Chain A
Amino acid sequence: MPVSATNWADEVDGEDQPQTFTDANGITTTIEYRTNEDGKKVKVTRRTQKKLIHDVVNKAVAARKKWPKFGKEKGNRPGPDPATTNVGDNIKLKLSSTGDVVQDVDEKHEAMKAQLQNKKILCRICKGDHFTTKCPYKDSLGMEDAAAPVAAAEEAAPEEQQTGSKYIAPHMRAGASGPKSGDRDSMREKRDEQPTLRVTNLSEDVTEGDVSELFKRFGHISRVFLARDRETNQCKGFAFVSFTMREDAQRALEAIDGRGYDNLILRVEWAR
């Protein structure tokens, strides 16, 4: 990094230079400074990991790869141009033999509908039985408290009673027993109740499958969490395994602790 320059002018100059460094995982980070359309300087950080893949291809295919670009691409550098080629979000193609592909799409919709069926929907503007956002008088009567989240439409009724000037956070409001926050708490409690083991000194190549393979012989496993490096997606060396039965977990702890696995000696202890 050339930022250790003595003089501020040098420092500014140095900042404009692209910086490149490679870390221990083989990830190269490139930092560039560019001026965008609005004339503002932006910092562009790119992290790349190079993998060399050998592939045998047809001679004609290899020859075509060397063709110069033409048409609108004429004179452009080889390699995909981000203006025309992008990588989309990860999409899972779940193949199933049971024909349940169709249901899984509409399930969410149905669940949402069922959830709303028992709830009384009340408009905050005209007191009609529709969502506030869908109110036909929205523009004419105006929103009383537009700050309130729209999603909380079903709790509109109690809210009306305590229309004070003071802001009350959604989860503190009367009637808002907080299905969401309550859910989360109960989830955590449930998780805490489960006997969980912490497994450390795992090797880098271990996957969730390996861990559950190793532990499932002792009893039913409810959850396996394997800590992974965010960039390399490799195991960070520890995992949590939750059993449904405490006895199973105890047996697993006694059996696996101190055992060798992938040239390393595993350490298993109760998770806190």
Chain B
Amino acid sequence: MRPILLQGHERSLTQIKYNREGDLLFSVSKDHVVNAWFSHNGERLGTYEGHVGAIWTVDVNSSSTLLISGSADNTAKLWDVSNGKCLKSWEFNTAVRCVQFSEDDKLVLIVTEPRMGYPATLQIFNVENSTTETVSSEPIYDFHPEGPKITVAAWGALNRYIVAGRENGSVALIDPKSGEYISTNKVHELTLTDLQMSADRTYFITASKDKSAKVLETESLEVLKTYTTDTPLNSAAIMPKHQEFVVVGGGQEAMDVTTTSSRQGKFECRFWHKVLEEEVGRVRGHFGPINTIAIHPDGRSFASGGEDGYVRVHHFDDDFFTFKFQI
């Protein structure tokens, strides 16, 4: 397969995300700009400009009308996907770590970092009708979760839970109405770097700096599968269709990269069989650690964003779909 290289960023990528149909790909990086791309040919639809700090996170709603981005400039911004206009900017005391639309598109979850005496917050805003009306600056819920810092978070099925991945390698289930911890489970040794839900949100995959990725059940936080690699992982994604695979990626820390060759750096997307926990293939190409991986919702292509500032969009060859794992 021939990857499409997207060079819209000047600094390392932090997150990429497909919309529900998978025709658009959104990428954010440390260079203050959000880019929107057509995933089938890599054409850039436009840029969303307004942030003045590194953007850590992005999410798009299921009808692809609203886009939310969270940045280190202590703001989260809501954008009109179609024309790049900023509809709302929420100010916080510290940097925004994680943003996500709820399953019904009515709420957004925003997680901010603890810093300079300010505690970490987990806030939920109402964005229903936000294309027509002004959005409230006040959150519906404002929680101050105790314990280790939350690095990644996602909504569970039917907005019943918020799943949070924390700095000490544990995952926690939070009640979105009270902000209380329902349960926690320490599944990794080191900090969680990514947490992506399956299509039906009944299970999710985590990636950690402890060189492993795990599949957990949402309800019970029970570890179902473990994929152990030889390099710190920055991202993990579940393939929704065609093949029972997960894709994980990472590489050694960016600051150590200059001391080793790109071969030893292990900057590859690794394909693992989701059920049998066997590695089945690798895709190389990045010359820096892979920071983020997203898989097209139809399972026919995937994209990876690296510390090298490139997004690589891969459309699978035909033999990918006919492959059968031999036991």
List residues of A whose CB falls within 8 A of some B CB: 57-58, 60-61, 64-65, 67-74, 78-81, 83-99, 101-102, 105, 109
Complex interface: chain A residues within 8 A of B23 (CB): 57-58, 61, 64-65
Asked whether B275 is an interface residue with its Cβ less than 8 Å from the other chain, the reply is no
Q: Residue on B with the closest CB to A80?
A: B43
Q: Report the minimal beta-carbon distance from A259 to chain B, rounded to whole angstroms.
A: 30
The answer for the CA separation of A85 and B25 in the assembled complex, in Å, is: 13
The verdict on A97 contacting B326 (CB below 8 Å), with A67-B45, A72-B47, A85-B5 known, is: yes
Interface residues contributed by chain B, number (CB under 8 Å): 49
Q: Residue on A with the closest CB to B319?
A: A95
Asked whether B38 is an interface residue with its Cβ less than 8 Å from the other chain, the reply is yes
A85 touching B2, Cβ below 8 Å = no
Q: Residue on A with the closest CB to B47?
A: A71
Complex interface: chain A residues within 8 A of B260 (CB): none
The answer for the CA separation of A87 and B285 in the assembled complex, in Å, is: 12
Interface pairs (5), CB distance under 8 Å: A67-B45, A88-B5, A93-B317, A95-B323, A109-B263
Asked whether B314 is an interface residue with its Cβ less than 8 Å from the other chain, the reply is yes
Q: Residue on A with the closest CB to B43?
A: A80
Q: Identify which of B23, B33, B284, B325 gathers the most chain A CB atoms within 10 Å of its CB.
A: B23
The verdict on A94 contacting B279 (CB below 8 Å), with A74-B46, A80-B43, A88-B2 known, is: no
List residues of B whose CB falls within 8 A of some A CB: 1-8, 21, 23-24, 33, 37-38, 41-49, 63-64, 82-84, 263, 270-271, 278-285, 312, 314, 316-317, 319-320, 323, 325-327
The verdict on A70 contacting B320 (CB below 8 Å), with A61-B21, A93-B283 known, is: no
Q: Report the minimal beta-carbon distance from B7 to chain A, rounded to whole angstroms.
A: 5
B2 touching A84, Cβ below 8 Å = no
Tally of A-B residue pairs with Cβ under 8 A? 127
Complex interface: chain B residues within 8 A of A71 (CB): 33, 46-49, 84
A57-B23, A73-B44 provided; 9 other pairs, C-beta below 8 A? Answer: A60-B21, A80-B41, A85-B5, A89-B2, A91-B283, A97-B326, A98-B326, A101-B279, A109-B263
The answer for the CA separation of A60 and B278 in the assembled complex, in Å, is: 38
Main DSSP-derived SS at the A contact region: loop
Complex interface: chain B residues within 8 A of A95 (CB): 271, 280-281, 319-320, 323
The answer for the CA separation of A97 and B285 in the assembled complex, in Å, is: 22
The answer for the CA separation of A73 and B83 in the assembled complex, in Å, is: 11
The answer for the CA separation of A102 and B266 in the assembled complex, in Å, is: 11
